[in-house]
Amino acid sequence: MNYNEEFWNKYSDENEVRYNEEFSKFVRDLATSLRCTSILEIGCGTGIDLRLFPNTFQVHGVDLNDNALSIAKEKQPIADFKKGSITELAFDDNSVDFVFTHGLMNYLDDDTLEKGIAEMFRVACKYIMNCEKFEENEKQIDENQKFRNMKKRWLEYNVKFISNVDMHEDIEPEKSRFTLLKKL
């Protein structure tokens, strides 16, 4: 896995302006409606998608960037933010009710993506969600990103597809693809 620390430091410094309250509400309300009590965002950055969760939730975030994690811990001290990689999550099997990514999978090379999906499946207890830039036949966006087809990536796993639709632009301005899976 290639990790460009300079790129991600700059990204985390600019992350606060990307805060989208509608998306944060959407994730919180979805996890609540699915009767989840623990949540993990992989590639959590500064934790903007996790900020609206009440303290009745066990909130976890994993990221590789120390700068982002420092901001996340400052903004949401009650949450558990850890340095870690999607390919080696420091969680027990079936230990988190709701595991998700938001705009992370587009930045991963294919090998890291496959290992990351396996790890998400391993630690998820009930639900998995990906919100990623979508293209049916995956293609490069720029030197750092690739459009993804997450439904295709999950076909080999024991999951039920609950949803695989484009997000409404009022909730996610980049119109990412919302893929929600129930682990079987």
**pLDDT (average), residues 87-110:** 95
Single-letter residue type at 140: Q
Contact status, residue 109 vs residue 81, Cβ threshold 8 Å: no
Q: How many angstroms from the chain centroid is the CA of residue 112?
A: 14
Q: What is the pLDDT of residues 170-180, one digit of tens each?
A: 887 777 899 99
Q: Token pair 């990221």 is at which residue? A: 63
**pLDDT (average), residues 64-74:** 91
pTM exceeds cut of 0.75: yes
In the chain the domains, ranked by start, together with CATH numbers, are: 5-183 (3.40.50.150)
- pLDDT for the residue numbered 99: 98
Q: What is the pLDDT of residues 133-160, one digit of tens each?
A: 888 898 888 877 888 899 999 999 999 9
Q: Token pair 């309250």 is at which residue? A: 21
Contact status, residue 134 vs residue 108, Cβ threshold 8 Å: no
11 pLDDT band, cuts 50/70/90, is low
